[in-house]
Amino acid sequence: MTDASAPRAGELTFVAPRRAKPQRHLADLSMAERRAAVAELGEKPFRADQLSRHYFSKLTESAEEMTDLPAASRERLGQLLPDLLTSVREITCDNGTTRKTLWRLFDGSLVESVLMRYPDRATICVSSQAGCGMNCPFCATGQAGLTRNMSTAEIVGQVVAGARSLARGEVPGGPGRISNVVFMGMGEPMANYKAVIGAVRRMVDPAPEGLGISARGVTVSTVGLVPAIEKLSAEGLPVTLAVSLHAPDDELRDTLVPINTRWKVAEVLDAAWAYAARTKRRVSIEYALIKDINDQEWRADLLGRLLKGKLVHVNLIPLNPTPGSKWTASRPEDERAFVRRLEWHGVAVTVRDTRGREIDGACGQLAAASPEL
Ligand code: SAH
């Protein structure tokens, strides 16, 4: 048998290169690595500082705009600033102060970020993975599974793009800055540990090495991957840890947050208290209130007993609707009773606003549907 499509000896074949990973970007690299990369391109190491200032402080979009650099250098250095994120669609609400962006990555993967401006702060909610492998049944992202991990620069790029919009005055309220970053977009950040830590470092490193955002303003939200929480405690990065608990008992949590079958409520909370002790940072407990599923007073009471006396704050999230889900948000009276019960135990609690709900940009609604849909 012969295979007609097989190349014969001496015949040239062209196989389109398939990159498994996004191209290397300045934001993937530490300062020392940037100097080495610049030198590799035949440039003086100090160009790494100039390039960093452009990218992280001046928020310059492309190498051509770096007119303080010689043209030949601009071209070479541009290799460290590949376009990793292409904006496919933007939807706004709240008079333009909430803005969801759908991004296409180099391999066609789609992710979303949400910029939310408030009178006193601006928060960007970023994705850390295309899709998610955690399979929580009430979350839209979880339904399609995991496509892939995002790179450090792909994660940072979402923040830089948001910072650029604010700096240019594109968001109502005059020119502004990003004060908070929450890893509450698509993906489980602790399942993409290395890239996420790199991204956090780029965010909190002082300008022009990084974006100079306060570590207190950065929140990493997790389903509760215990070994990763323990590792995070040791990073010396005092970011806020948010744990998506959603149930105080293993029986229910096994179904709402399936990874609970691996790390139980008690283990997750122990890791959270160790994190609080080490970083002196108050841990956030995320709890989506789902009607008649996890909103009973006895569960509030059980939660209160688990949390009382700890360095903790509970964020109750009225469940946001997702396609195909039979669940809905709790009745207002049940929500109020839940809050009262927690307060009775002396636990700090707030109900999160539902910003972005009408543009499917609120918690758990990011599904990155393609624009054709
Ligand atoms: N994987 C991470 C971060 C992503 S989601 C995590 O689970 O923590 C950010 C928060 O939104 C999590 O607390 C998540 O449980 C919650 N969430 C998911 N779907 C939701 C929904 N439909 N309504 C309200 N909150 C939801």
Q: What is the CATH number of the domain that holds 76?
A: 1.10.150.530
Residue nearest to ligand 1 atom 24, measured at CA: 319
Provide the domain count of the chain. Answer: 2
- Contact in structure between 321 and 139 (CB atoms under 8 Å): no
Q: Report, as an integer, the average pLDDT of 147-170.
A: 97
Higher pLDDT, 222 or 63: 222
Q: Is there a single domain that holds both residue 195 and residue 276?
A: yes
Q: What is the pLDDT of residue 14?
A: 58
Residue 125: the pLDDT is 97
Do residues 67 and 99 both lie within one domain? no
Which residue, judged by its Cα, is nearest atom 11 of ligand 1?
A: 363
pTM of the full structure: 0.93
In a domain, 233, yes or no: yes
What confidence tens digit (pLDDT) does each residue in 65-111 have?
A: 999 999 999 999 999 999 999 999 999 999 999 999 999 999 999 99
Cβ atoms within 10 Å, residue 337: 16
Closest atom, ligand 1, to C-alpha of 221: 8
Whether residues 204 and 327 share a domain: the answer is yes
Please calculate the CA angle 46-35-59 and round it to the nearest 5 degrees: 70
Number of Cβ within 10 Å of residue 91's Cβ equals: 16
Band of pLDDT at residue 55, cut at 50, 70 and 90: very high
Judge whether 8 lies within some domain: no
Q: Which residue in this structure is represented by tokens 């006193």?
A: 120
Same domain, 219 and 75: no
Containing domain of residue 72, as a range?
26-80
Phi and psi at 286, nearest 5°, equal -90, 135
| Residue identifier of the C-alpha nearest atom 1 of ligand 1 | 188
- Cα(177) to centroid(ligand 1), Å: 25
Same-domain status, 295 and 211: yes
pLDDT of residue 365: 79
Residue 130 domain flag? yes
Terminal CA-CA length for the chain: 45
Residue 9 binned pLDDT confidence (cut-offs 50, 70, 90): low
Would you call 136 a catalytic residue per the annotation? no
Is 266 among the domain residues? yes
Q: Which residues line ligand 1 (CB under 6 A)?
A: 134, 136, 138-139, 184, 188, 221-223, 244, 286, 288, 317, 319-320, 322, 363-364
Ligand 1 center–CA 286 separation, angstroms: 8
Question: Is the pLDDT assigned to residue 231 strictly greater than 50?
Answer: yes
Angle at 106 between CA 100 and CA 112, to 5 degrees: 15
For ligand 1, atom 26, the nearest C-alpha belongs to 364
Candidate list 43, 64, 363, 372, residue with the active-site label: 363
What's the gap in Å between 364 CA and the centre of ligand 1? Answer: 5
Which of 219, 317, 320 has the most ligand 1 atoms within 8 A of CB, as the residue to mutate? 317
Is position 1 within any domain?
Answer: no
210 CA to middle of ligand 1, Å? 28
Write down the pLDDT at residue 311.
97
- Please choose, from the candidates 259, 218, 210, the residue with its C-alpha nearest in 3D space to the C-alpha of residue 235: 218
Alpha-carbon distance 268 to 332, whole Å? 29
Tell me, yes or no, whether 6 lies in a domain: no
Nearest CA among 7, 37, 170 for reference residue 101: 170
pLDDT band at 169 (very low <50, low <70, confident <90, very high): very high
The answer on 205 and 154 residing in a single domain is: yes
Helix H or strand E encompassing 224 = none
For the ranges 10-14, 51-55, 136-140, 316-320, the lowest mean pLDDT is seen at 10-14
More confident residue, 333 or 94: 333
Determine the pLDDT at residue 8. Answer: 55
Range 162-180 burial, b when 16+ CB lie within 10 A, else e: bbebbbeeebeeeebebbb
Q: Among 41, 62, 80, which residue terminates a domain?
A: 80
* Pocket perturbation via mutation, ligand 1, pick of 221, 284, 326, 355 by most ligand atoms within 8 A of CB: 221
Mean pLDDT for 204-222 is 97
Q: Stretch 238-257: mean pLDDT, rounded?
A: 98
What's the gap in Å between 220 CA and the centre of ligand 1? 12
Residues 207 and 327 in one domain: yes
**Average of per-residue pLDDT values in the chain:** 92
Question: Ligand 1: distance of its center to the CA of 371 in Å?
Answer: 23
Are 71 and 92 part of one and the same domain?
Answer: no
The H or E element that residue 15 is part of is none
Calculate how far, in angstroms, residue 283's C-alpha sits from the geometric centre of ligand 1. Answer: 16
Using CA positions, which residue lies closest to atom 15 of ligand 1? 244
- Protein residue closest via CA to atom 21 of ligand 1: 364
| Catalytic choice (33, 93, 112, 286) | 112
- The pLDDT score that the predictor gives to residue 13 is 56
Q: Give residue 369's pLDDT.
A: 62
pLDDT value at position 372? 45
CB 86 within 8 A of CB 106: no
**Domain boundary pick from 63, 80, 97:** 80
| Residue 139 annotated among the catalytic residues of the structure | no
